[in-house]
Structure 1
Amino acid sequence: MESAIKKLQCHLSTLGDEKWLILEQVFKSALHCSKKSMAYQCLEQIEKKFQKTSPLLITLSAMYFESIGDFEKAEKISSTLIEENEINDIKKFLGLTNYLLHICRKSHDLPLTCVKLFEGYCRKITKDINNDNSL
């Protein structure tokens, strides 16, 4: 398997974005075969491409630390992913709510009182979320 990694490294520069998918699969296979140093080499390559906040990098890092028995670090890394997902969900909710508000403002069939009530609700929920989560 190590000779396969060396061959892969020689060809990585000729590959496009699929090299990251290949490195991910080699990483997982190396962990499965208890080849920790090989997995770490793949992880190092992946770290060069993706930001520290990338869900892929966070997941693979947690997998690596779990495989070497550092469960505390794996848990800490995994909790980052969960927090990021929660923040993303909140941002998506706010985006959808504001889009619905935009539609309501453009609709001439809705009573103005309903639109004003909805605007107030949107302002309040945005303020509450931003205060609670420092978004």
Structure 2
Amino acid sequence: MIRVSSLSGGYGGRMIVEDVSFTAGKGEFVGILGPNGSGKTTLLKLLTGMLSPSKGEALVAGRPVGGYKPRELAKIMAVLPQHTEQAFTFTVKETVSFGRYPYQKGLFRQMDQHDEDIVREAMEMTGIDRYAQQSVRNLSGGER
């Protein structure tokens, strides 16, 4: 599902990530480990199209990440950083529900029963249903 080939990138002409290659299939979990300042967040930005690569490519479902429209990419990929600045506090269920946004239609994009069922199933599958009504702010970094 994700194929990364010779991916390099950084900021202001300074390379942070250099020549990274890997493949991750559907259903696989991949961990990015490294010390502070080693480029983990920069790599995620390159993988999600938030940052354009200087060299190489990141393909998702066989297409370059930069070739997707944001809503289209949101249907197959999402990133929730461990630390974020939030003006509002959201429950775990509300946060998981954001993943349904690209599938909703209409001006106000409200959840329907189908969306509710998918959110409940996703929370059960990942073992976070017990946190549904807790604020995301009250979770540890690992729980997030």
Structure 1 length normalisation: TM-score? 0.30
Q: Identify, as 1 or 2, the structure richer in strand.
A: 2
Larger RCO of the pair (alpha carbons < 8 Å, separation 6+): 2
For the pair shown, which has the larger CA radius of gyration, 1 or 2? 1
Q: Identify, as 1 or 2, the structure richer in helix.
A: 1
